[in-house]
Structure 1
C-alpha cells in the first residue's frame, strides 16, 4: 500500500496519521491504527456520542439527525416481514433504536462507548458493548449508520455481521465516500476522514468487493444529500479555525451537483441482501 494523504485528528488529539491506499479494493486505511482507540472517543467534542445541541455545529447535527430518524424508520419498514427484528451496530445514544421501537420493531443494539450506552439507558435501551455479547439469534434488518468505517479487523467483523442476518433480511449501511467532490476539495481537512476513529475509507468499488466476497449483493445505492453540507461545515472549521457557513454551503452544493453526474456523493447508503 502507498501513502495517499497525510492528515490529523482535528477533533480530539491533534495527532497526525497517514491514509494508505489499497489499490486492489480502492480503499484507504488509517495508519498507524492506535491500540487504545477508546481514548479517541472519550471526548465531548465527539458529538455522535452525545445528545448535546449547544454550538452551531451541534445544533445542525441534531437537526439533521432528527430529520434522518424519520427517513431511516421508513427505510427499514420497506424491508420488514412478519419478523420485525432490528440490530443497530454502533447505536450511539440509541435515538434510532428508540424511534424504531416506537414503530413496532423489536430492537437490539451494539455500542462500544460506555458514555453513549449510559445515555441510552435514559431511553430504556440496553445496548451491548460488542457483538459477541448478543443473544444467539438472527435479525431481519441490520443497520450500520456511519459505523463500518470505525470497525477494526474489518473482514472478520463483516463476516460476523453477515452471519447474523436472516436469509431474506437486509443489511443497510451508510459510509462516507472519499471519491466525492468535497473530499477532493478539502483533502487533508476533509472532516469525514476523522482519523483515527475512522480506520477504513470506502469507495463504491470497495463496498462491492468487500461484501461480494461475503456472499452479499448491493440491491440499491442511495445518496445522502445533507452529509456534504455538514461535512463541509466541519471541514471549513478544521481548515480555517472557524466554520464559514456560506462557503460550506456552496462547497456542499457543488459536491451534490457534481455527484448528480458522477454518482460520487459525500456519503452513500447501501442496501445489501444475501445471494
Structure 2
C-alpha cells in the first residue's frame, strides 16, 4: 500500500503515524495500528467518553450532540415503518440510547470503554461490553455513530454486525469522509483522522465495497452538516491558530457549500440494508 500522508495524534500521545491507501477499498489505513489501543482512549480530553463541559470546544461538542440526537431519530424514523428493537454499537456515555428509549425503541447498547459505561450507568443506561453479549438477538435498527473507524478486524466485525440485523432491518453508520474539502484543506492537521483511534478512513466508495462483501447495499446517504464546523475547529486548534473560531467557521461553511455540488461532506450517514 502506498503512503498517503503522515500525521500524528494531536489529542493524547503526540505520536506519529502513517496513512496508507488501500486501492481495492478506496480507503486509508492507519499504520502502525497499536496493539494496546486502550491507552489512547485513556484521557480526560477524549470527549466522546465523557460529558465534559469545561472548555469552549467541550461546550460546543455537547451542544451539537444534543441537536444531533433529534436529527438521528428523525433520520431513522424516515427509514422504518415503526419503532421496534435498536442496537447502538459504540454507545459512549449513553445519550443516544437514552433518547431512543424515550422515543419508544426497545434499545440496547455496546460500549467497550469502562469509563464511558460508568457514565452511562449514572444516567440509568446499562451497556454491554461487546457484541458477544447480544449475539442471540436480532435488531430492526443498528446504529454506529462515528464507531466503524475505531473497530479492529474490520471485515470480521462487519460480518458479525450483519448477522445481528433483521432481514428487513437497517444499519445506520456515520463516519468521517477523507475526500471532503476540509480533509483536503487541513491534510496532516485534519482532526477527523484522529490517529491511532481511527484505524480506517473511508470514502463513499469504501463503505459501498466493504458492505457488498456481506451482501448488503447502501440505500441512502445523508450529510452531517455540523461536523465540518466542529472538525475545522479542532483542526485549527491543532495548527495553533489563535483565531481558530473565525477560521473554522469559514472553512466549515465552505466545506458544506462545496459538498452541495460534490456530495463529499465532512461526515456522512450511510443507511444500509441486506440485499433482497
Q: Over residues 77-113 of structure 1, what are the superposed CA-to-partner deviations in whole Å (9 max), with x where a residue is unaligned? A: 2344456100000000000000010111111100011
SS at match of 2:233: helix
Contact 2:111 2:127 (8 Å CA) reproduced: yes
**Separation of aligned partners in 2, 1:51 and 1:210:** 33
Contact 2:177 2:266 (8 Å CA) reproduced: yes
Contact 2:77 2:83 (8 Å CA) reproduced: no
2:197 maps to 197
**Separation of aligned partners in 2, 1:246 and 1:176:** 22
1:269 maps to 269
Larger mean Cα displacement after TM superposition, 7-16 or 67-76: 67-76
2:58 maps to 58
TM-score scaled by length of structure 2: 0.97
Structure 1 runs of 4+ aligned residues shifted over 6 Å read: none
SS at match of 2:70: helix
Q: Please, which runs of 5 or more residues in structure 2 have no aligned partner? A: none
TM-score scaled by length of structure 1: 0.98
1:245 maps to 245
Q: Please, which runs of 5 or more residues in structure 1 have no aligned partner? A: none
**Change in 2 beyond 3 A, CA 1:264/1:83:** closer
1:233 maps to 233
Q: Over residues 56-92 of structure 1, what are the superposed CA-to-partner deviations in whole Å (9 max), with x where a residue is unaligned? A: 1001100100000111112222344456100000000
Contact 2:180 2:264 (8 Å CA) reproduced: yes
Contact 1:234 1:243 (8 Å CA) reproduced: no
**Separation of aligned partners in 1, 2:195 and 2:243:** 20
1:13 maps to 13
Residues 1:223 and 2:223 are matched in the alignment: yes
SS at match of 2:116: helix
Count the aligned residue pairs.
Answer: 275
Contact 2:83 2:104 (8 Å CA) reproduced: no
Contact 1:216 1:273 (8 Å CA) reproduced: yes
1:47, CA displacement in angstroms? 0.3
1:208 maps to 208
